[in-house]
């Protein structure tokens, strides 16, 4: 295994992840984190209940806004291709302490989000098995950890199979809806909102704005590609492609079935009920509805698997960046001798999630995770604005079109969104940041020469673009070139 360069006096670097993943495999993993089926059947129903056929307009506008965030992810993920993801990007562009605070709030959400999602499994297995939600959630977490410690190509294949089931389920809903059309196409443009009593009302601008946060969350997960940047071949090119292709695929796989549902319902009151499985039953019978429910359960497992994979890589990157005491760094930086996966870090981030699913009612932290996502997205927007100055101007990276339009809009919208969040969730976020600031002040800052050194993989750390003058481009060290060749098997 190759290692990343370290400053003088530091302990030996952790082993480098093998670059065995191509864009296609990266899209399979990333789209699995978007988890189209669970987004369609879990996130979209409340939107249909409150907005009726206007949900289609909300989803299309959310897709445009998500594209702005995706462009920021694509540029910054190629500028700083690190498994640390957002914390490494923000730390490299906005400063080490800013990166540390992003790491602190994100690591807490990484512990909480997978078990929250896993706890929803039992509800969709109810037609086949009667399971306690906590037991089902814990079992999903354990299965996800077991898959997460395998090599990344096996991960891509396994999640690709589950993703195939998701796409089939979305396709079934789309075909059934479009072959049972009862509503005019004009209802998608001149949307109506069911009142739940057989009547309808207009789709107003206020309803649109109130549902945008949920609509944007529907596509959330396309940023997973940046966590895979140390597994991808040629990350300076492939990360941007993986982000944008994953976003496009997610928009299509989620939005087309929603259009079909809005056109296929016998009356707007079916949208007000929000039971999409019942709508499928009305079109094709309970057998097909059961199949769709099982596909949703598979989608939940698939999403948790990918989250455990990405979360393990974040913790692995923190060990490489010398975040913890040296024995902890060595343990978390260990790669499996056969699979090349950060198996200790994967266990360390996944096992507490299994315990949480079994023992703790953590639904109350959903609002906190929403605030965390908004804060991280906001800082990414700021980083995208700052990424074309200083040393970053000459880095070999993909650059978004129409800069700085996307980051300006992203930061403005998210800054406003944060002012509308619950006071309790904001206070929890501030408390977590305070604890992180204390660790920074008393442990990391006094050891700044050797700890929290935001590094890149050896084969990426020296790659900068040639200066505008006629000077020859900077060469990549021979050792880095050899490392790249040694750790870049054939594309998936």
Q: What is the pLDDT of residues 348-389, one digit of tens each?
A: 999 998 888 888 766 566 667 778 878 888 888 899 999 888
Contacts of 43 (CB under 8 A, 6+ apart): 214, 217, 218
The model's pLDDT over 438-491, given as tens digits with 9 standing for 90+, comes to 999 999 999 998 999 887 765 565 554 433 333 333 333 333 333 333 333 333
Scanning the structure block, which residue is given the tokens 């509805």?
Answer: 289
Contact criterion met (CB below 8 Å) for 159 and 305: yes
The model's pLDDT over 178-228, given as tens digits with 9 standing for 90+, comes to 999 988 888 888 877 766 566 667 787 877 877 777 788 788 888 888 888
Rounded distance between C-alpha atoms, residue 261 and residue 281, angstroms:
12
The model's pLDDT over 215-254, given as tens digits with 9 standing for 90+, comes to 887 888 888 888 888 888 888 889 999 999 999 999 999 9
HSE, side-chain direction, 13 A CA sphere, residue 489: 10
Statement: residue 492 has pLDDT above 70: no
Average pLDDT score over the chain: 81
pLDDT (0 to 100) of residue 158 = 86
Statement: residue 78 has pLDDT above 60: yes
Scanning the structure block, which residue is given the tokens 């999903």?
Answer: 140
Statement: residue 332 has pLDDT above 70: yes
pLDDT (0 to 100) of residue 392 = 77
pLDDT grade, residue 415 (50/70/90)? confident
State both tokens at 303: 């999403």
HSE, side-chain direction, 13 A CA sphere, residue 332: 23
Contact criterion met (CB below 8 Å) for 292 and 280: yes
**Alpha carbon distances (Å) from 281 to 45, 87, 219, 292, 368:** 16, 45, 26, 10, 36
pLDDT (0 to 100) of residue 460 = 61
pLDDT (0 to 100) of residue 337 = 87
Domain boundaries, the chain: 23-449
Mean pLDDT (whole number) for 47-70? 89
Which numeric CATH code is attached to 23-449?
Answer: 1.20.1740.10
pLDDT (0 to 100) of residue 465 = 41
State both tokens at 156: 């891509």
Q: By mean pLDDT, which of 84-88, 94-98, 361-365 is the weakest?
A: 361-365
pLDDT grade, residue 257 (50/70/90)? very high
pLDDT (0 to 100) of residue 195 = 63
Rounded distance between C-alpha atoms, residue 413 and residue 209, angstroms:
11
The model's pLDDT over 274-307, given as tens digits with 9 standing for 90+, comes to 888 889 989 988 888 888 888 888 888 888 888 8
Provide the whole-model pTM. Answer: 0.77
């Amino acid at each position: 295994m190759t290692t990343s360069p370290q400053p003088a006096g530091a302990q030996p670097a952790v082993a480098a992840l093998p670059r065995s993943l191509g864009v296609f495999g990266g899209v399979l993993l990333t789209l699995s984190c978007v988890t189209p089926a669970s987004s369609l059947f879990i996130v979209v129903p409340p939107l249909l209940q409150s907005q009726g056929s206007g949900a289609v307009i909300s989803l299309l506008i959310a897709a445009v806004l998500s594209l702005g965030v995706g462009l920021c992810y694509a540029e910054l993920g190629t500028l700083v291709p690190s498994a640390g993801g957002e914390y490494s990007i923000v730390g490299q562009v906005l400063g080490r302490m800013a990166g540390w605070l992003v790491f602190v709030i994100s690591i807490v959400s990484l512990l909480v989000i997978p078990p929250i999602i896993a706890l929803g499994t039992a509800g969709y297995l109810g037609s086949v098995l009667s399971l306690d939600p906590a037991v089902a959630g814990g079992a999903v977490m354990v299965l996800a950890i077991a898959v997460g410690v395998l090599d990344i190509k096996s991960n891509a294949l396994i999640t690709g199979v589950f993703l195939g089931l998701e796409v089939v389920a979305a396709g079934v809903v789309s075909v059934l809806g479009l072959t049972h059309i009862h509503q005019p196409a004009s209802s998608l443009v001149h949307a109506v909102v069911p009142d739940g009593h057989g009547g309808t009302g207009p789709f107003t601008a206020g309803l649109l704005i109130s549902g945008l946060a949920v609509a944007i969350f529907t596509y959330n997960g396309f940023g997973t590609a940046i966590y895979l940047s140390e597994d991808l071949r040629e990350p300076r090119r492939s990360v941007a492609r993986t982000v944008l292709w994953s976003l496009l695929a997610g928009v299509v796989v989620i939005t087309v079935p929603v259009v079909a549902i809005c056109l296929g319902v016998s009356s707007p009151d079916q949208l007000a009920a929000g039971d999409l499985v019942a709508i499928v039953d009305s079109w094709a019978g309970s057998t097909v509805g059961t199949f769709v429910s099982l596909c949703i359960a598979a989608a939940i497992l698939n999403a948790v698997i990918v989250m455990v994979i990405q979360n393990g890589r974040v913790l692995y990157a923190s060990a490489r960046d010398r975040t913890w005491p040296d024995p902890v760094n060595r343990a978390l930086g260990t790669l499996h001798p056969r699979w090349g996966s950060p198996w200790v870090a994967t266990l360390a981030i996944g096992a507490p999630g299994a315990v949480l699913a079994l023992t703790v009612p953590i639904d109350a932290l959903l609002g906190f995770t929403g605030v965390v996502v908004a804060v991280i997205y906001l800082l990414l927007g700021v980083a995208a604005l700052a990424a074309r100055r200083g040393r970053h101007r000459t880095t070999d990276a993909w650059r978004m079109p129409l800069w700085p339009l996307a980051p300006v809009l992203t930061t403005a919208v998210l800054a406003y969104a944060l002012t509308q969040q619950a006071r309790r969730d904001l206070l929890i976020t501030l408390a977590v940041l305070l604890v992180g600031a204390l660790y920074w002040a008393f442990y990391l800052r006094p050891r700044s020469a050797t700890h929290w050194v935001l590094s890149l993989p050896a084969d990426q750390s020296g790659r900068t673009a040639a200066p505008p003058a006629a000077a020859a481009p900077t060469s990549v060290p021979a050792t880095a070139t050899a490392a790249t060749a040694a750790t870049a098997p054939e594309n998936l």
